[in-house]
Structure 1
């Protein structure tokens, strides 16, 4: 998304609020459908694995993108602002925008808007983005084991 768009994602300037319990919640989307859409629309590498989990109780969507050397997790929780719109559809649109930003930025996950009150389409969401590099994680664990093992010291 471009910065001059009315639909851009940005941290909200208003304080974190309570969830909008007045919103009209429809049926939650299927995670598999969202994952298929995201992969088809955005993924450049056919080896990418995309999965989406729908957490109905928390009113959240979690997306996992697994690439050859890294895994990216995006979690999106609805806060407020849907008005007469279905919050699930707003969340799916927002996840689409976040995933697209991740792909377009060359997987610069820190550039994505994050925090407890991110605004998109005049609604507010809690957004977290995490990158895990399994190769680096395994190497770090190996070093930690070596530094605590008296046989290798």
Structure 2
């Protein structure tokens, strides 16, 4: 099951996606249209020094937690960043944008196939109700409502692939 994160830096926001591979490895990609790359991260000792492997190319980095985020130093360059889980970051943003009576667009938090759509247009929903089930990496995952409302549109059906 791919996990998505939104990484905020001083200059831009980046979507990082990672998932386990069949051979117990990990692969990552930056932005949803980027190429998948094999990855690994190992801590060196008890310090903030790490060895990052991307497609078998090593890079040393120093990671330091900071209030509200972290910083990473690679060579002579230091980057401050904050990481949010993709789903919660966008639920919070969309809820703020929607207001008390607005429309809230709910998107898939992971790549997968739609197994079952459990609501229909016009159905009333409450916080936590299951809207649909997505199968990803051989696991079923429920997509739940972040708030109360009425389903106004459904753009997928069982068997559709989502990213």
**TM-score, reference length from structure 1:** 0.23
* Bigger fraction of residues in helix: 1
* Bigger fraction of residues in strand: 2
Q: Which structure has the higher relative contact order (CA within 8 Å, separation 6+)?
A: 1
| Rg larger in structure | 2
